[in-house]
Structure formats: structure tokens, C-alpha cells
Amino acid sequence: MFRILLIALLFLSNDAFTQDKDADEIIKKMQTVFDGIKDYKVDMTISVDMSFLKVPKSKATLYFKQPDKVKLDSKGFAMLPKEGLTFSPGKMLDFAYSAFYIKEEKVGESNTHVIKIIPDADSARVLLTTLWVDSKFNILRKIKSTTKSAGEFEIELTYADPANIKLPSTAELTFTFDQNKIPARIREEIQKESKDQKNQNSMNGKVTIRYENYSINKGLPDDLFKEDQ
């Protein structure tokens, strides 16, 4: 009888057990994988789709060096979302938090661990973050986050060769944009065009980035980052 009760208890509390056991461990593994990348350089093709903004498809080069050095370089105009810019878990989770393992879920063809991140302090810029971490390669497949200043955003990453290159080949970022940040004249025009957004405080945007020609761990000099850190 006692054995039956114990097994039932184990089944019922399965989620609680996995929370304590796995979430921090999975994030740690993901961080370890990313820490293996000391620096990288990558060419990007960026497409921005926002209702109040018409931007041509742009090309830029992103330089990254651990722990948080970033440089964006382009011959012409380019814009890149600040959120999830470098895929660094340490940068994305740069606040005290509690991590909870939720479940396993498929993202595309990959099995992922779904982890919810809740900040410990009210002062954190993030309210809630959900991570989908590839269970085989310990890389980030998807992130969904609600922030205080930038609203909601979701990044879905695909990898061309995850076994060898732990950095994505495409990133699709969808986000909400606070309409109050847009100048009134443009806001009125957009609302005229889109009646369904008339009573909303935010509008949606999408940025698609294609990454090519990764150059990883080639020893980027610190001088490179002097201007645009």
C-alpha cells in the first residue's frame, strides 16, 4: 500500500521534480555551449516589416566577443533589434531569476525543453521569459519574452548545421511596438489605414535576419569594438 502511494505521489509531482532538477541545469548547459564561442563575425541580411516604417532589405556584419562586446557594421543603412542581438544566454538573462521546467515541446523538427524564467526582483527589465532549448544540442530554438520597456517579443531561430555551428542561420523576430512611441502624425495615418489597430496601444512588427559566412573563434581584436560597444 505504501509503495502504491509513493508511486502515485511521484507521478503527481513529476512536474515539480523536473522543475527542481532540470531548468537551471539546462540553462547552464546552454550557457556552456555558448561560452565555447569566444567570438564570431557573421554577415547578415535584414528584412524589417513594420506598418509605420518602410526600410529596404539591408546587409550588415555583426561582430561579437565574449562576454558582451558587440559591433554592427554596414556600408549603408541597417537596423537590428537590440533584443536577442547576440544569442548570448548570459546577456538575455542578466538579472536574478527563478527558472521552471515546464514541458517538452517540438519546435519545427527539434525536441525542446520549455523553461519559464521569472525575475526575482521587480526592478528587472523583463516580466516573463520562456525559453525553448534544443534537447540534443543545448542551443536556443525559441524565446518569448515580455519586457517592461519593449513590450512583447518572440525570436525563432533555425540552425543550418547545429552539430558544428551553434549559431543560427536565420532568426525571425516578431514583436509589439508601443504606438505611443511613434510620432502622433504617423500614428494617425497608420490608424487610418488599419482600422483593427485603432484602439490598440501597440502594433506588430517583424524582422527576419539571415546569417551567412560565420567566422567563429578567430580571435577578434578588442580594438574592433572601441566605437560601438
Binding site for other proteins (CB under 8 A): 51-56, 58, 60, 70, 72-74, 76-83, 85, 149-150, 175, 177, 181-183, 185-186, 189-190, 228
What are the φ and ψ backbone dihedral angles of 89, each rounded to 5 degrees? -60, -35
Closer residue to other proteins in complex, CB, 149/164:
149
Angle at 26 between CA 68 and CA 158, to 5 degrees: 65
Residue number with CB closer to other proteins (33 or 209): 209
**Nearest CB to other proteins, comparing residues 55 and 128:** 55
3: phi then psi, degrees, rounded to nearest 5 = -65, -40
How far apart are alpha carbons 80 and 177 in whole angstroms?
14
Output the smallest distance, CB 141 to other proteins, in A: 23
The minimum distance between CB 168 and other proteins, in angstroms, equals 17
CA quadruple 191, 197, 202, 204: dihedral sign: negative
Least distance to other proteins from the beta carbon of 200, Å? 16
Least separation in angstroms between CB 215 and other proteins: 19
Under DSSP, the state recorded for 16 is H
- What is the nearest approach in angstroms of other proteins to the Cβ of residue 77? 3
Least CB distance to other proteins at residue 191 (A): 11
> Minimum distance from CB of 175 to other proteins (Å)?
7
CA distance 31 to 203: 33
Rounded to 5°, the CA angle 73-75-79 comes to: 55
Other Cβ atoms within 10 Å of 115 Cβ, number: 22
Pick between residue 84 and residue 89 the one whose CB is nearest to other proteins: 84
Alpha carbons within 13 angstroms on the beta-carbon side of residue 216 total 12
Q: What DSSP string describes 118-162?
A: EESSTTSSEEEEEEEEETTT--EEEEEEEETTTEEEEEEEE-S-T
Q: Characterize the bridge pairing of strands 151-158 and 140-147.
A: antiparallel
Residue with Cβ nearer other proteins (76 or 219): 76
| Closer residue to other proteins in complex, CB, 3/192 | 192
